Homo-oligomer: A and B are copies of this chain.
């Protein structure tokens, strides 16, 4: 008898019929001889509807504490209805809010982090034979304030709870069949991966494959929680995410990811002085702006140029921050570029296969596409290129690394992110 945590996102429980289908799925799993704990997100558009409601009341940014109070009702509605749907099928079910399930967080409203889990109530109910439903995305501070975990929060709830109750498996149900070698909407012959290791998944998650939230993957890696990502609409086997994935013969690169949300900022004519870069990046960090790839050119006439990428949504703010420190740094000018994308190849075997990087450069060059920036790590390599050739580049890389299959991939809707 296995103890399984099952997580269902908002589109999986988007209406009463889907809710019933999810309930049937859970009941099946329980009747196969498992004990099930279910983490559920708010139904479909509920969160957006609640945000709209708050905008009718508040002109500026709403107070984060009250926003958490408001948004946490979304999961409470879906967990109660899901418990009812399960009981309707003849199994006993009981639902718990984040605070009832003992999800303790820090007090950073709207993006709280889980600091502790006290799952006594959940464990007791499981032992009594109930299917337990827990609201995703929410917790409580030590002080009794309701918090929410921010984007990807329900994935994190599921993984953290699985770790706390020592579940045998954490199943993330979503609207795609599993993790693919690349986006099936771009490459029709993308292949579903049977297994992937945490680090690879982390790179893919961070690189924009929006199936699993990076924070949840980090948590899973840290607590060694075996994960599987699978479809809530089919019974196909999903993709297992674990510490050591079996290396498939000849497959060094596991997947190809891309990120369209990339802008490049170049600071030109920076007087050569110790600590100049540090000043720039600490000013950006203070504003919560993450910097990704950084490239510095050689020094010429006592001044250097350097470039870095930020999320396009942060670009304007980043330019303001840089303008505000121009006199302090004394650089000549700062320019920004949009219409860029980052393409990455990911695979734990890359580090011991030196030909991998060369293949990437060759493949992109053969298409006549110039590479603007490059960044590498042990298990990934990223190139920033012009946006208009993205699809060609992804397809060519997919073929070059031997990832194509004959089977057309299942293409889901937009992935869920809560």
Question: CB distance A69 to B76 under 8 Å?
Answer: yes
Question: CB distance A81 to B95 under 8 Å?
Answer: no
Quote the shortest CB–CB distance from A85 to chain B (angstroms): 5
Query: Please, how many angstroms separate the alpha-carbon atoms of A57 and B15 in the complex?
Result: 10
Question: CB distance A66 to B95 under 8 Å?
Answer: yes
Interface of chain A residues 127 through 176 with chain B (CB within 8 A): 144, 146
Cβ of A31 within 8 Å of any chain B Cβ, yes or no, is no
Instruction: Annotate A55-99 by CB proximity to B: 1 below 8 A, 0 otherwise.
Output: 011110011011101101100110111011101100001110100
Quote the shortest CB–CB distance from A121 to chain B (angstroms): 7
Contacts of A94 in B (CB 8 A): 65
Cβ of A245 within 8 Å of any chain B Cβ, yes or no, is no
Quote the shortest CB–CB distance from A160 to chain B (angstroms): 20
Cβ of A399 within 8 Å of any chain B Cβ, yes or no, is no
Question: CB distance A62 to B77 under 8 Å?
Answer: no
Quote the shortest CB–CB distance from A374 to chain B (angstroms): 47
Contacts of A108 in B (CB 8 A): none
Chain A interface, DSSP helix/strand/loop, else mixed: helix
Question: CB distance A57 to B146 under 8 Å?
Answer: no
Cβ of A20 within 8 Å of any chain B Cβ, yes or no, is yes
Interface of chain A residues 280 through 319 with chain B (CB within 8 A): none
Cβ of A19 within 8 Å of any chain B Cβ, yes or no, is yes
Question: CB distance A80 to B97 under 8 Å?
Answer: no
Cβ of A251 within 8 Å of any chain B Cβ, yes or no, is no
Cβ of A100 within 8 Å of any chain B Cβ, yes or no, is yes
The 6 lowest CB-CB distance pairs between A and B, nearest first, are: A16-B56, A70-B80, A73-B73, A69-B80, A66-B80, A66-B83
